[in-house]
Amino acid sequence: MQHFRSHYNSEVQMIRGGFPQPLISRTYQTSFLKQRSKAEIKVVAAKKHSEAEKRRRMRINGQYETLRTILPNLIKKDKASVLAETIKQVKELKKKVSKLEQDSCGNSSKDVVKFPSGADRLSLEKCSNEEGLVKATLSCEDSQGLMSAISRAMGSVKTKVVKAEIVSVGGRNRSVLWVQGLGNDRMGMLKSSLKIAMHKPAFKMRRSTQ
């Protein structure tokens, strides 16, 4: 405010001619009044301007404030640090989300329950985000000996199932098997072994009549 007034005074003074005016003629006086009202208009505009600018600043600073409350572990509270931390957080969160979305081996949270396909299917796929891990997905007729058959297929290529996800519904089965320690060369072997297991489990268990 102080600042503003000083600017205003110096401005009016400059308009007046920049030096003291002891006695002035009538024409000079009217001209001076005209100038003064012009200056007045200008001042009003300036005031409007500065108020608008203040509103803008407040809007922006409000955003900074909410950012400060949102961000955790914010040590330095100055604007630059807030922005820097924000950028860091956004990047981290984005990475986290994309990690979580592709979710370990492609079983995204969107398909927690993926039902067996009606048609028989078998696919092997290397996990992009885990070295030496292969994901085998199969859909086939459900039968009592199926799991044993699959186990034997696994054993035949000397691999270890690290994780399995199995859904049986309506006489159909869908199994996803994460297999560790399978060389490129033995992927084909595993595939054919699994194919056999899917279609004719080596021996069928008797259905227990409980």
204 belongs to the binding site for DNA (CB under 7 A):
no
78 belongs to the binding site for DNA (CB under 7 A):
yes
Q: Which residues contact 191 (CB under 8 A, 6 or more apart)?
A: 122, 124, 136
Q: How far is the CB of 99 from DNA (least distance, A)?
A: 33
**Contact by Cβ (8 Å): 174, 139:** yes
Q: Applying CB under 8 A, which of residues 74, 167, 187, 196 lies at the interface with its own copies?
A: 167
Stretch of 31-39, 46-54, 123-131, 141-149 contacting DNA, by CB under 7 A: 46-54
Q: Applying CB under 7 A, which of residues 49, 94, 121, 160 lies at the interface with DNA?
A: 49
171 belongs to the binding site for its own copies (CB under 8 A):
no
Q: Applying CB under 7 A, which of residues 30, 31, 61, 151 lies at the interface with DNA?
A: 61
Q: How far is the CB of 42 from DNA (least distance, A)?
A: 8
Considering only CA atoms, give the Rg of the chain.
Answer: 39
Burial 83-112 (b: 16+ CB within 10 A, else e): eebbeebeeeeeeeeeeeeeeebebeeeee
> Which is nearer to its own copies, 152 or 186 (by Cβ)?
152
Q: How far is the CB of 136 from its own copies (least distance, A)?
A: 14
Q: How far is the CB of 163 from its own copies (least distance, A)?
A: 5
The amino acid occupying position 101 is E
49 belongs to the binding site for its own copies (CB under 8 A):
no
| Binding region for its own copies (CB under 8 A) | 10, 18-19, 56, 59-60, 63-64, 66-67, 70-71, 79-80, 83-84, 86-87, 89-91, 93-94, 96-97, 99-101, 103-105, 109, 112-113, 144, 147-148, 152, 155-156, 160-169, 178, 202-203, 205, 208, 210
